Every structure is written in structure tokens, then in C-alpha cells.
A and B are shown apart, each in its own frame.
Chain A
Amino acid sequence: MQKPEDHTRNKVTPDELNPDSLIWTSKWLSIRQVSWGAFLLVLAIFVLLPLLPTASKTLDEWQVKLPLTFTQLVSPGELSSGHKLFGKQCSTCHQQPLHAVTDSSCQSCHKQVKQHAVSSKAKTTQLDELPCITCHEDHKGEVGLISHWNDQCLNCHNTVRTGSDNRTVARVKNFVVDHPQFQLSVTGNAGSVSRVLNKPGITEHTELKFSHKLHLDKQGISTPLGEIMLSCKDCHRLEQDAQRFSPQTMQSSCQLSDCHSQDYAEPAFGTIPHGNLKLALAGLEEKYLELLKNGEVSQADCASGAGKKILSPRDCAHQLALKNAETSLVRGNLLCAGCHTVVPNANENLPWKIVPPTLNRDWYPVAKFSHRKHDTQPCTHCHDKENSKNSGEVSIPGIEVCRECHADENPNHKQIRTSCDNCHRYHRGKPAVQ
């Protein structure tokens, strides 16, 4: 094709008006050149730059001074709050290219973290090989360092596991369907502790006579301060860990509203101290001595026939005190014997002994549980104590109560998602950062 050529003057031809020629870049660079330029630029910034610190230790150290380090350019997401401290220097954790972060990286700080189980007991070395990053992946936001997902646990616990000590760990696939019933730690005779499956009707030896029913009477109970209605919290105070309650004491629990003030019976009125029977007897003796001195009690009240000799006032007071104690303190339904088990003692001067109560505070000692998180519910929802007359009746809820609200990882809309680590701890011992 011949094209009409310009013969007269400097004239624009259609080809020169080719739109491409008017776009400024095309004067120097073609689209292709611009494109490959952009390609190489991006590669240089995001591949070459982040690689440089790998090659040079000095550069790696130096780059921390920058507001955004070379390697941070390719950070896939926000670090957990604890790791932000050193987050500018990726090599802190990413010590070896093409390899995942190793435990040694983690353990340079986290020195005392223990494994899940002792591998010799668990009869598997698999646990030792599980690297930290199995559950602790970073770059997932400030609080995303711990994986709360059950898959990893279930990987092992989907079969019955028996350790070398013949302890078995049951098969679990799903909290709702086949998680085994919880095991209670209950107190037995003489303070022994045994583990039993949680079921209704379990009792333990508390060596304390106490009726929740009586104290929680809806009509209220009469006290020196008048008629009052007690609530659980009046006696049970949650500890800091929100899991356990502080131990009940005479003072903090029983002597609220001036109840159980431990008055002696007539004629020796007064208060006896709690907690030491010897001291209580001595106090009583002193009281009788005083009464003898004042003549309010006559020497004749002493049983003198036995030795035909007149007893000294102290001996008389001692005799009277023992007598009093026999009737009012240890034999009646009030005072010591009202709550405690009193047993005879071979000592002539202290013929009784009070068995110390063994109150259990930790029925599920290894589980994590927060009462605070459950304070939307009344205590009695889980702990059926309103009709309990005997303090030995265990009212710790079993798994079925949990399941009323808690489901596994895929709850329906009325349930709460629950993962293993909501109740179970993974690491043995307590985590500590150095």
C-alpha cells in the first residue's frame, strides 16, 4: 500500500496522531518497558531488600533504627503484643530461611515451659517433636498467639491413650458427645484424697457438722442481730484466681452476725476462744477459780469424796471446769460438739480431742474454671446445696451441667463454643517468661 506522502509542508499525519504516541510515557518508554520496570522495582523492594539482612548481620542489626525495617516489609500481619518488643528484627524468630521458626528461637526466652507430658510416661516421642508453632503462630494480631482450636489435641486424643504408668486417658472427639465424665477429688478418711467419677450422692469426710439447708433457710435464721437470710457469698468468698474460694474460718464465716459466739454455759459465763481446746479449758478453769474466790461457787460443789481431803481451789476449779466442759462443751449440741467431732483423749487433764475438719476446696484440681465468668448464674444452679443437711454431700457439677451451655467448636446459636484449652492446660507447670 502506498501512503499519500506529504509534499507541501510539515503536516500531522494520522500515524503520528496514533493515540499511543501521545501518551507521555511512550515518548521514552513503551508500555512493556514501564511494565517490566514496575515488575523489577517491586521484586527489588520486596524480594531483594528483605533478603539483604539475611546476608549481613550488621545490616540486620542496623535496620532496627529504621521506622520500618526491610524485613518488616514482608510481614504478613500484626505480631502478638508480647513479641512486638523485638518485632522489627525478624531474625529474632526467623533464624533460618525456608524453615519454620524453631523451638530454640522460642526457648531463648521461654526457658521453663514444660512439655505436655513426660514422654517416657506418654510412651510417645511425638510430643517432644511438636514444635511450639504448632499451636503458637504469630502474626495473627495482638492476641492471636495461642491457637484455641481442638484439632491439634484431638490428633492424639482421638484414641484411648495409656501411659507407661498404666494411667489411661480417655478417647475424646467432641466435648458434647464423648467427653468422659469429670473425676472428682474427694476427701476420705483421715484426710486421704481419692478420685471418683462425678455422680449424684457422693459424700466425703469433712469432720464438720453443717447443714446448708438450715443456714440457707428461706425464712431466715435468727441471730443476735435479728432475723437474717444468708446467701452463699456470705460465707464463700472467691479467691483472686476466680476459681477457688477462700477457706471458711470460724471468724469469717460462722461468727457473722455474732452467731456462734461460743459462750460458756452457766454458771461460768463468758466467751471461749476457738480453735484450741486446751486453751478453752484453761480459760474455764480460771473462770471457776475466780468464782470460787468470790464465793459464787462453793468448794462443796467439788467432788471431794474420792480422796477425803479438801481440794485446793485450783484443783476444784479444774474439776468444775472439766465437769462444765463435759456437759456444755463437748457433750451437748452446742459449742464444740455442735459442729465438730469430739473424741476421748487419754490425757487426764484434757480428756477430749476435736477432730480437725477436712474441708475440700479443689474437687477439680487440674481444670481451669472461672467462677467469675459464671456469675450470671446463681450458685445453686450448679451447686445443689439448698437441701443439703450434711456437709459431706458433694455438690460439684458434672459434665452434664457444663453441657447445658457449652458445646464444642461448632456450637449452635444457643450454645457457647468451647475448646479443650478452656478447661485443660497444655503445658505442665506454670508458664514463666524470663
Chain B
Amino acid sequence: MSEFQIAIIGAGPGGLAAAARAAKLGVSHVLLEASGNLANTIYNFQKRKYVMAEPARLPLRGEISFAAASREQILQAWQHEVTALGVNLKLHAAVSGIQGERGNFAISLATGELIAAQQVILAIGLQGNVRKLGVAGETLSGVQYQLADPDEYVEETIVVVGAGDAGVENALALANKNKVFIINRNEEFSSCKAANLALLETAIKAGKVAVRTGARTEKIEINTDAKFPLNYFVNTPHNKEIIPCHRVIARLGALPPRKLVESFGVRFPNAEPTAVPQLSEHYESNVAGLYIIGALAGCPLIKQAMNQGYEVVEHILGHEVTPADEVLLQEKFTRISVHLTVAEGISLLRRNHPLLNSLTTLQLREVVLESTITSPEPETVLFHQLDFSSSLYSILQGEVEIHIAMPDAGTKVIKLFAGDFFGEIGLLSGRRRSGTAIAGKDCILIETPRSAMLKLLTTNESVQRSLDEVSLKRIIRSNLGGEFTEQELDDLVHGSVLKRYNEGDLFFKEKDAVDGLYMIRRGSVTVSREIEGKETVLGYVAAGNYFGEMALLSNQPRSATVRAATYTEAVLLHADQVKLLLSRNAAMRRNVDSTHLKNLQSNANNKFAESSEMVRFLVDQGIGEGTDVLLIDYDRCLRCDNCEYACAQVHDGVSLLHRRAGVTFHNIHIPTSCRHCEHPHCMKDCPPDAIRRSSSGEVYIAESCIGCGNCQRNCPYGVITMLSPAKQHVRTNFWAVIFGEKQHVGENRDEHKKASKCDMCKGLADGPACVHSCPSGAAMRLSPEEVMEALS
């Protein structure tokens, strides 16, 4: 058993950087890599993929170089540097267990080998181990677990195992030039995106892809027949089959590393799949001497991981090391009116940011790194009412006024002081700001962007709890209007429940007993009633409003059914408490009564009932979660496709909307085009955080896109396309119109692709080109409220 001072597990960017530093300093070390390649994840990228170096401002430390370049260039450079530094690299060394702690770690490999180390750096990333077929022949040549370049294979018979998105996409890509079988363990293709499913169905119909459902791989054998090198044995519920083929591509997903990591003794803060182990500021886990860096530590970017590798090695060797972000942090703190050192700043944050109280210093630093610290001049407007912005502000010092303009009751002013935070309603609902925030005197604010906040909320329960409590009170206050004592509010909040519903889930049914008043914090609901045996939609209630007051006031059972139109979070206030409050608080009573009256009137309006099917259609098409949807009135549409043309003109020759590809119901056509969701699915998993929402509401993709394609996969409406920047940006001018210059849109494989989506022609004076350039006025972009208004 060999012993090393440092054992580094995972030869990804973080691991490489750590090992390289150790090698440079002459420390005894070993770099263990489960696969046969350096940086296996990058190795598995599609060929010639361009890899970005984000965040651009962060300096890179250590021996290994890294700059934005193609996959091949990066891998080659790293291979070269690793060899030159004499890194002790051990390939095909999958770790199956780690025992012990600082000074006496015992690392057991899958091969049975044992390695002793004093310190362990875990840099295995999140990709984990690719799941193998687990049958005889799983390692035969011709059996592969990824597909780098679908065009590599021509006129082969290929079996694709696995019906997730990866499998389906591979099968589809291969089907153009090969005969493809797709093997699905289940009877239905339920685990892939709707868009992929539709494509697959077309391909199946066209006979390009053959399917075996409910099928299990039995084994793979070498075929002696010269024509097909492999025989793939598959069992279906009805029979057994042998498929002679050239190649088997298994896309069975990866084993999440969490179990493995937990088996090392590392604890995670909660059961959320996205949770990150709790780490000290030196990346040390709860197991002494076990350091975790890279994606597993919540830092998915290459550069961050590499810096961490460097820092951890330095720390282990007892060298004083300021984090790479120290300079950046200092910069943030010096940009405000009061000069603070990083340490002072962090402690101020601890004192006056109750939400972040429970965070470790490391987490705090990270939050600060992603946040902006400002000391605005008094009277500066931080955001306007009805703006789209979703960052969370905390007051570190001074005060801030929130002005809420009421439609019929003037402006309400709320004062907030150090220790308070605001902006959470926009953050949680994804909707427009409910008030205008104006800075007061000597004000120091920290503004944390939505993405960082959401990450924090999922990893840290206490943050979530305190945020919920404050936001509940605010929602109640803003919804019910009246003046409450703090005690009354506390009572209400105490008795309230935060409920979450998926699209189509029931809140309550007609004739149900009354449970209370619902306040929608996020999402939206449809109100319907059974009319002639059919559930008929009567209304639509969006976030920031409440419902359920009818039955509450009339003491009758529920008069209507309420369902979530999209993923919805609502606060349920207990019926008795609300009634009690209403009886005591006249202002609030008036407020609720007037809403009640309005709702009664709108229910009496049975035009709505006629368009109930339309509402269902629109909700199905994502109106419920959109903020701005492109609708085409097909009774007006000249089918001239000038909308697409205009879109392409504005977006480098590529149309980001596809008119014919959409769906139609009666005269309303929804083309394939971005809905600018309240909580954009595309934003969910964007490594460089390139998908943003501007204050006027447009969700757009910034230049920093690395082309990973996550957003494209996450969008349920299929509106994001991956494009190489067009070789030639032909923008039609007057002369082109006269002489008919042809559009040149070259998909150039050599260049890296980037995600493209509708940005509502952000920044153009005339607004969205599709709408502005519709000759007949058929195209319109509407918010869900406007659509629903148009329905009634």
C-alpha cells in the first residue's frame, strides 16, 4: 500500500489544478481518475466544442493554463502540462470508498487496490459515473456510452439503449444516415421532453427509427458474421430478439455521486438533489482532511474549480492563501461610500443581513461575489413599480422607502431599515415589482441576483424559512389592505401554510368545505365551475392576488373549482382567523368585499364560459406562466411570414420564432416563440448565468453563453435554438430589397454554437419586430392578464 501526502480524486479541472500545484511544490501526491482520460467530462464534449472561460473577471491561479478554446486545444494543452509537471496520474482508478480522516485516509479503488493518504481532495464533479449496461458484453468495443459526433457513423445499424433525452437525441441524430433501434425499458417515452418525443414519433412514423418498448438488454455478443460485428440480445414482454448491429450506444444516465460521497462520511444539509455539502472556508468538509472542490462543492465553472484546487493544496501545506476572489470582494466593498475591508464587510453583512446569518463564511463570500454592494445617493430609485427585476435587496445600513401606488387609493409608503430586506415578491413570483424602491440617507445595500438567491434558498433551509415568514406578512399586508397589529399578523402567519401545486393540481373543488383564503405568491390559477357536465373556466387569478373569499364571506361551500395553471405557490390562511380579522378590521373587510363583488360580477359574465375551451388551450400553451406571449389572430394573419422575416432581420439572419410550427385553436395561433415565463425554465440551469431578464421583462441570453444547451433542453416550448453565429450577417437594406440579395445563413460547425432565443427585440425603439412588422396587425404580444381580459 502506497502512501501519499495528498490524494486527489478526479482528474477534472479542479483535480488537475490541485495535482499540478502539488507536483510543482514537490509534495507527494496521486491523482486518481476513474476513466481513461484527463478531464473526462470535457473529453466527452461534442467534437470541436468551444469551451468558455467564465467568469471572465476571475483571475486564474496555478500551473495549469486555461483560456477559452476548443475542446481539442484545451485537452492537448492540459495533457502536455500534466506530463511536463510530472503529475502522478493514475487512470482507470475508480474510487469505491474512503475511510479515516486527516492523516490516515484509506482509499479503496474498484480494482481492490488500497491507497493511503494524509489528506484527500475530492474533485469528482457532478457527472459521476456513467451508468453501464450491466450485462455481459458491456465493455465490448462497439459498445459505447456516449456519442461525440453523430456524423461519424454512416450506414450502420445502431442500437441506442435508453429513452431519456440523451438517448432519444442520439437516436434522432443518427437516424439520418443509419438504421437505428431505440430500446426503451418502459412502455412509454415518458422520461424525455415533449419536443424530443414529437420528433421521435415523426421519425418512427417515417420508419427511420425502430422501437422496442418494455425491453431489457440481455447481453451483447460478438457476431461472427462479417457484416455485423455485434449481436444485441433483447427481451421484450412478448419475445426475445437478436438484433445484429454495428454498434450499441447506451445512454443510461450517470450515477449521482451523492451516495458515494455520503459513504465517505460527508454530510449534506438537506435532501434537495441540488444540495451542496457544507464546507469550511477552506473547502474542508465535516470529515477532517477531506476537501471538496469543483462542481460538487457548488462551483460548476472550470476556472473556479481550478482556483480551488490551487488554494486547497496551498492550505494543506499550511501556506497562507487569500482566496482568489479576495481582490474581487475588496473591489466590491471599496466601491461604496464607506471604505471597508473584506473582513469588515463580511461582519457587517453578518450583523445586518438576518437572512444570511446562518451561512458559513465561505457561502457568505460566494453570495457577496455574486452580489452587488452599493451605496446609492438618497432619492435614487432602485427599481420601479411594474419593473421586471428579481434580485433581492438587503439594507446593511440606512433606510429605504417602498412606494406602492394603488390603483384607486393613492400611494402607500413603507419604510425599511438596516436589517430589512425587500424585493422578495418579485423574486418569488417572477412578476413585476409591486412597488418602487427609493434609497434613503447613508444607505448601503447588497443586491443579490435571482440565480444566487435561488441557489441559496435550495441549499439553506433557514434562509428559506426566514424569507418565507417575512414575505408572508408582506403578502398579507399588501393583499388585504387593512392595518394590522404585529400581533394579528403573527397569528395569521403562524396559522398559515405555504402550499405548492403543479400545473393542473386542484386547490379545491366546487362544493368543498371552506378551508381558508389563498394568496398566490407565485404562478396563477384558473377558476372553473361545472356547467352542463363540463368544467368551464370562469376566471384567471395571477400571483399577487387572492381567491377563496367568496365562500368565506357567504359561509357556503366552495362555489367553484380552482386549479393551478402552472406551478403555483400559495399561502393558505386559516378560515377562522381570517373571519375573526375581518370582523375586527373594517378597512380590510371593505377591501375583501369589493374584490368579492368584482368576482361575482365577472362570474355572472358568461362570455367567459364560452371561451372556456380557449382558456384551457391557452393555459396548456403556457400562458399561465408566461409574461408576454406572441399570439397571432389567424382570422387576420395573411400567412406572409413577415414576422419571421422581421425576426431574422433583427437577429443576424435567424428567425427565433417559427410561425407554422405553433398550435392553433379557433382563430388563435401560438407560434413557436418565447413566452418570457415568470420563472423561466431556461434560466434554471445556466452555468455562466447568461440568461437574464431585463427590467422591462425580456428574458434574453447574454454574450457570455457557453453553448451548453441546457436552456434548450429545459424549455418546454422548444423556443431556444443552438446556432453558430451566422458566417455572414446579411442585413437587408434598401439595395438588398431592390436587387434581391439572398440571405446567407451558414451553420458552421467549426464555430461554437450559442443559444439563441427571442429577446423581444430588446432595445429596439419600435418594440418586437414580429409585432411591429405584421402588416395586418394579426401578431400581438400580450401578457396573460391582457389575454384573459380579452377573453372576457
Contact = CB atoms under 8 A, between A and B. Distances in A.
A32 B740 contact: yes
B774 to A, nearest CB: 20
A7 B740 contact: no
A4 B205 contact: yes
Size range of the interface on A?
under 10
Contacts of A4: 202-203, 205-206
Interface in B227-275: none
Contacts of B661: 1
Contact of A7 (B199, B206, B658): B206
Contacts of A5: 206
Interface string B159-185: 000000000000010000000000000
Contact of A2 (B172, B205, B207, B658): B172
Contacts of B208: 7
A30 interface: yes
Interface in A191-214: none
B194 to A, nearest CB: 14
Nearest to A8: B207
Interface string A2-32: 1011010000000000000000000000101
Nearest to A30: B740
A2 B203 contact: yes
Nearest to A6: B206
A2 B740 contact: no
Interface string B642-686: 000000000000000010010000000000000000000000000
B732 to A, nearest CB: 13
Nearest to A3: B202
A366 B494 CA distance: 116
B175 to A, nearest CB: 9
Interface of A is mostly: loop
Contacts of B207: 7
Contacts of A32: 740
A191 B740 CA distance: 89
Size range of the interface on B?
10 to 19
Nearest to B740: A32
B717 to A, nearest CB: 14
Interface of B is mostly: mixed
A85 B203 CA distance: 80
A63 B653 CA distance: 53
B202 A1 contact: no
Interface in B189-220: 199, 202-203, 205-208
B697 to A, nearest CB: 27
Contacts of B202: 2, 4
A32 B207 CA distance: 40
Interface string A23-46: 000000010100000000000000
Nearest to B661: A1
A114 to B, nearest CB: 56
Contacts of A1: 658, 661
A30 B739 CA distance: 12
A3 to B, nearest CB: 9
A7 B202 CA distance: 12
Contacts of A2: 172, 199, 202-203
A1 B202 CA distance: 11
Contacts of A7: 206-208
B174 to A, nearest CB: 12
A2 B201 CA distance: 12
B30 to A, nearest CB: 47
A293 B735 CA distance: 122
Nearest to B721: A1
Contacts of B199: 2
A5 B199 CA distance: 12
Contacts of B206: 4-5, 7
B171 to A, nearest CB: 12
A2 B208 CA distance: 12
Contacts of B658: 1
Nearest to B207: A7
Contacts of A30: 740
Nearest to A32: B740
Nearest to B201: A4
Interface string A102-123: 0000000000000000000000
Q: In this complex, which of B172, B202, B205, B206 has the most chain A Cβ atoms within 10 angstroms of its Cβ? A: B206
Nearest to A2: B199
A5 B206 CA distance: 7
A4 B207 CA distance: 10
A32 B742 CA distance: 12
Contacts of B205: 4
Contacts of B740: 30, 32
A196 to B, nearest CB: 74
A39 to B, nearest CB: 10
A30 B206 CA distance: 33
A32 B172 CA distance: 39
A2 B174 CA distance: 13
A4 B206 CA distance: 7
A29 to B, nearest CB: 12
Interface in A260-306: none
A208 to B, nearest CB: 87
A4 B209 CA distance: 12
Nearest to B175: A2
A5 B661 CA distance: 16
A7 B208 CA distance: 9
Interface string B390-428: 000000000000000000000000000000000000000
A2 B658 CA distance: 13
A392 B117 CA distance: 153
A406 B112 CA distance: 129
A394 B145 CA distance: 129
Nearest to A5: B206
A32 B732 CA distance: 15
B736 to A, nearest CB: 11
Nearest to B195: A1
Nearest to B172: A2
Nearest to B737: A32
B372 to A, nearest CB: 40
A7 B661 CA distance: 22
A8 to B, nearest CB: 8
A7 B206 CA distance: 7
Q: In this complex, which of A1, A5, A7, A30 has the most chain B Cβ atoms within 10 angstroms of its Cβ? A: A1
Contacts of B203: 2, 4
Interface in A365-408: none
Interface in B697-755: 740
A223 B33 CA distance: 155
B619 to A, nearest CB: 25
A2 B199 CA distance: 7
A304 to B, nearest CB: 124
Contacts of B172: 2
B723 to A, nearest CB: 13
A26 to B, nearest CB: 13
A32 B736 CA distance: 12
B290 to A, nearest CB: 48
Interface string B136-176: 00000000000000000000000000000000000010000
A380 B658 CA distance: 92
Nearest to A31: B740
A97 B206 CA distance: 70
A32 B199 CA distance: 36
B195 to A, nearest CB: 10
A15 to B, nearest CB: 11
A1 B740 CA distance: 26
A359 B207 CA distance: 121
7 contacts: A1-B661, A2-B172, A2-B199, A4-B202, A5-B206, A7-B206, A32-B740
Q: Which 4 A-B pairs have the closest CB atoms?
A: A32-B740, A4-B202, A4-B206, A2-B199
Interface of A: 1-2, 4-5, 7, 30, 32
Given A2-B202, A2-B203, A5-B206, 13 more contacts: A1-B658, A1-B661, A2-B172, A2-B199, A4-B202, A4-B203, A4-B205, A4-B206, A7-B206, A7-B207, A7-B208, A30-B740, A32-B740
